[in-house]
Chains A and B, each alone.
Chain A
Amino acid sequence: MTAAPAAGLRGLEGRVALVTGAGQGIGAAIAARLGDEGCRVAVNSLQPAKAAGTAERLRGAGADAHAFPADVADASQVNDMVSGIEETLGPVQILVNNAAYLDMERMLDQDPAIWNRMIDVDLTGPFNCARRVLSGMLAAAWGRIVTISSIWGLIGAKGATAYCAAKGGLVEMTRALDAEVGSAGVCASALAPGIIDTPQLASDAGFAGISLEEMKARYATEDLVGRIGTPEEIAGVVAFLASDDGAAFRGQTVPVTGGRSE
């Protein structure tokens, strides 16, 4: 996994960063980029083997990385996870709320249990993590909470009502969180990725009834840049938002969509 070249980011070296949902896709790219920037990375995933795999790859690239598997939807597991990080790496200074779950289905056909699981992971998960790490950030007068929303949280999408509700909720949660605790030292911001080349696209293709390659080609024609994005491009903006410069976007959600508006 090759991260984008450093952009002169300041304030990241030596920070303890927790990246949730870092077993694959965007989260794994974020963890790698923060490792490249000199952060000490706590790699979270629901699946222990995936967390361990990402942490191992980061260590192979020279980063200080450790796996911390947990379900972010479970506040008790989040508490234990962060306690473990504090013992191993120190207080979490950068939280990247990336873990997400999306099951594409029409709302009228949606199993309430699936709806609840999406809200629990996608909206309550970031709340659980932010609440757990905030006291340490406030005590240190420095911290970054960067939350991954989605273009679908801004404009909606067919077949993703729970996901869109949760991702839209993250936009407002970020605004409210920053209003409550934000300062130049501690701030919350969010990022709304457009269509990114991740394993999730297979689910999109299944819902649309077309092949994965057809799905990618369709999405590419809808982006102004004529292509879908890469996990590394999202990771670069996350690193920026976690840096000193990122305070300029506190409370905001930055769209990273390749110009997508529908």
Chain B
Amino acid sequence: MLVIAAAAVDEGVAELAQSLGELGPTLLLTPGGDAAPGGAAAVAAADLTTPEGAARDWPAVEEKHGPTESLVTLPSPVPSSPTKVADVTDDLWSACLRDNLFVAMHAARAAAPAMIERGHGRIAMVTWRLDDPAGYVALAAATGAVRHLARTLASEVGEQGVTVNAVSVAPGRLRDAAPAIRLLRSPDGGFVTSENLSPVGVTP
């Protein structure tokens, strides 16, 4: 089963879930268990923004839906307007880390042990490629951290058959990640790990 973990659902998340759902069983996890528009993926509630939520919800989800063969973590939406560094509040900073870095970390930490036990697993951490990060310092810090989380986790689990990669896409274009995820979770992607793939859109 492919598990998609996100802090919230929007149209971009739904679109990507639908695209990935064409390949097989797909489960979308959010704190509220929000349904994805289009309904291509099954949904479940799992609060991966906190360690307590992940420890509580992940086992229940796997017990009900089965083992996670591939995990895809998604970024939070890009704020609609920039915020200068001096105006970044503690709440904004914390939310950015929580909804991007912590979701990725908690989900990976929950999924990896069983993957290691099975000797096979694929983790793709989708994040934003901020070509012009001015005004988005919190998001830039979080996305950079996600890329290095993927790179570092890959070094810890590589010999156990688990690959970990980051997939960076332009803001608002989650659907661009689909081809890269299709490669990474296929048998053809087994020797790709610890990388940051940066796919571009093939459709407008």
Q: Report yes or no: A255 in contact with B182, Cβ–Cβ below 8 A.
A: no
Q: How far is the CB of B148 from chain A (nearest CB, A)?
A: 13
Docked Cα-Cα span, A199 to B189, in Å, equals: 23
User: Quick one: closest A residue to B198, CB to CB?
Assistant: A252
Docked Cα-Cα span, A5 to B195, in Å, equals: 23
Q: Report yes or no: B186 in contact with A224, Cβ–Cβ below 8 A.
A: no
Q: Report yes or no: A256 in contact with B192, Cβ–Cβ below 8 A.
A: yes
Q: Report yes or no: A226 in contact with B158, Cβ–Cβ below 8 A.
A: yes
Kindly identify which residue among B158, B176, B191, B197 contacts A229, using a CB–CB cutoff of 8 Å.
B191
Docked Cα-Cα span, A240 to B158, in Å, equals: 22
Q: Counting CB contacts under 8 A, is B188 at the interface?
A: yes
Q: Report yes or no: A248 in contact with B188, Cβ–Cβ below 8 A.
A: no
Q: Report yes or no: A240 in contact with B183, Cβ–Cβ below 8 A.
A: yes
Q: Report yes or no: A248 in contact with B176, Cβ–Cβ below 8 A.
A: yes
Q: Counting CB contacts under 8 A, is B38 at the interface?
A: no
Docked Cα-Cα span, A233 to B188, in Å, equals: 6
The residues of A that contact B188 with a CB separation of less than 8 Å are 4, 7, 233, 236-237, 239-240
Q: Report yes or no: A259 in contact with B180, Cβ–Cβ below 8 A.
A: no
Q: Counting CB contacts under 8 A, is B179 at the interface?
A: yes
Q: Report yes or no: B182 in contact with A256, Cβ–Cβ below 8 A.
A: no
Q: Counting CB contacts under 8 A, is A179 at the interface?
A: no
Q: Report yes or no: A226 in contact with B159, Cβ–Cβ below 8 A.
A: yes
Kindly identify which residue among B23, B176, B193, B197 contacts A8, using a CB–CB cutoff of 8 Å.
B23
The residues of B that contact A259 with a CB separation of less than 8 Å are 154-155, 158, 193-195
Q: Among B155, B192, B202, which residue has the most Cβ atoms of chain A within 10 A?
A: B192
Q: Report yes or no: A245 in contact with B193, Cβ–Cβ below 8 A.
A: no
Q: How far is the CB of A26 from chain B (nearest CB, A)?
A: 12
The residues of B that contact A257 with a CB separation of less than 8 Å are 191-192, 195
> B residues 145-203 with Cβ under 8 Å of A?
154-155, 158-159, 161, 163, 176, 179-180, 182-183, 186-195, 197-203
Given contacts A236-B187, A237-B192, contact A249 B199 (CB under 8 A): yes
Kindly identify which residue among B161, B183, B189, B194 contacts A261, using a CB–CB cutoff of 8 Å.
B194
Kindly identify which residue among A244, A258, A261 contacts B191, using a CB–CB cutoff of 8 Å.
A258
Docked Cα-Cα span, A255 to B201, in Å, equals: 19
Q: Among B23, B183, B202, which residue has the most Cβ atoms of chain A within 10 A?
A: B183
Q: Counting CB contacts under 8 A, is A184 at the interface?
A: yes
Cβ contacts A to B, 23 pairs, < 8 Å: A4-B187, A7-B186, A8-B23, A194-B191, A224-B158, A225-B161, A225-B163, A230-B191, A234-B191, A236-B186, A237-B183, A237-B191, A247-B179, A247-B202, A248-B179, A248-B180, A248-B200, A249-B197, A249-B200, A254-B197, A255-B192, A255-B195, A257-B195
Can you add 17 more A-B contacts, CB < 8 Å, to A230-B191, A240-B186, A250-B200? A7-B188, A8-B23, A8-B186, A194-B191, A223-B158, A225-B158, A236-B186, A236-B187, A236-B189, A237-B189, A237-B192, A245-B183, A249-B200, A256-B191, A259-B154, A259-B194, A259-B195
